[in-house]
Structure 1
């Protein structure tokens, strides 16, 4: 029987998912939580085969959590279950190590289909994303310019907007505009997520003073 960990911060949704999964005899919910800080421990304790993961759990970054699960329990499959139809978010989740990206408005049968595919080693993305006017290419990254990559790397290395402006000989306002555009384009919310993205994109990330 395949063991599934439910990581969803809305209790009523967790209850609904448990009832839905109970209709399938070859799956069981081995643990559940609404706290992002408990997910990895539950995955390790139950030797979970699959995690149904909401990206907006309190206590941690969704992308960081995917990377932690992938590093600590590489055999566990990760199916993101989210309301976010943002293509950049989906790309980042898949790049971080998710095996599937499913939207919460899908039907129960589609959830069964997604779980079956992911457990079989086949990557899954919701049809709504694939069939939209901006089709999602699994594994693809949002397009950013050479200058944006340079700024991204500097942010990841701990430089402030003022530092970057001096280093690139441009105004602070210009750097702030680039920074906001980058965060929006890549759906990043803080420096930790910027650093994780920079590492995945092959940019040099090191402590200041090591240049």
Structure 2
């Protein structure tokens, strides 16, 4: 049997952009758009009712913004993954969204293939970070041979053993949102965009033991 389609909820206050996304996935059997929300409050309402696999969440919306909506979804225990899809890539936009519980962060100028990869990655519960966002963060926080904190090394070690975010959080007695924030910092410090590259780079630099 073919894999079930990834079920999507689109949350954006611009109807034309929502229409464009819906049209993008209309003929792709790998995805199913369940509904659209024009603000964060409506997104939370629909997510609770429909339980989509991935929510494509804009940040700046009326009534309730994206970060507030992500926090509410986390508080309510809604299992849907949130992939931020926005125009803004400043530090004050990126970090609060990840800390609130977003699984990934992508800019609206991303190509379709990049968006599809990010959605698929987010649906697996893995961090999906736009290369341009990673590059911006890298330029802000990285210095030559930026040392990893003890907590970042712990998380990196658990990632190398195949633990996902939830398993890592459980082992360290911290929240998944905290794990995601540390992973975001790891990516910036190591100059990578995904978990596999982070582990490979860590081994190359001798940050992880060869077992």
TM-score (ref. length: structure 1): 0.62
Partner SS for 1:134: helix
- The residue that corresponds to 1:123 in the other structure is 127
Q: Does 1:40 align with 2:40?
A: no
Aligned residue among 128, 134, 140 for 2:140: 134
User: 1:175-198: per-residue Cα shift (whole Å, max 9, x none)?
Assistant: xxxxxxxxxxxxxxxxxxxxxxxx
Structure 1: unaligned runs, 5 residues or longer: 141-211
Number of equivalenced pairs: 140
Question: CA RMSD of the aligned region, Å?
Answer: 1.9
Match of 2:69 in 1: 65
* Kept in 2: contact 1:3–1:46 (CA 8 A): no
Once the two structures are superposed, residues 71-119 of structure 1 have per-residue CA deviations (whole angstroms, 9 ceiling, x without a partner) of 2243110000000010232111111100001011111111001001111
2:109 is aligned with 1:105? yes
1:79 to 2:90 alignment: no
Larger mean CA deviation between 76-85 and 65-74 belongs to 65-74
Do the aligned partners of 2:67 and 2:100 also contact (CA within 8 Å) in 1? yes
Quote the Cα distance in structure 2 between the aligned partners of 1:101 and 1:80.
5
Cα shift at 1:135:
5.8
- Name the TM-score, length of structure 2 as normaliser: 0.62
Does the CA-based 8 Å contact 1:3-1:30 persist in structure 2?
A: yes
**Separation in structure 1 between the aligned mates of residue 117 and residue 48 of structure 2, nearest angstrom:** 25
CA contact (8 A) 2:58 2:86 kept: yes
Structure 2's unaligned 5+ residue stretches are: 143-151, 153-179, 183-211
Q: 2:9 and 2:70 mapped to 1: Cα distance?
A: 13
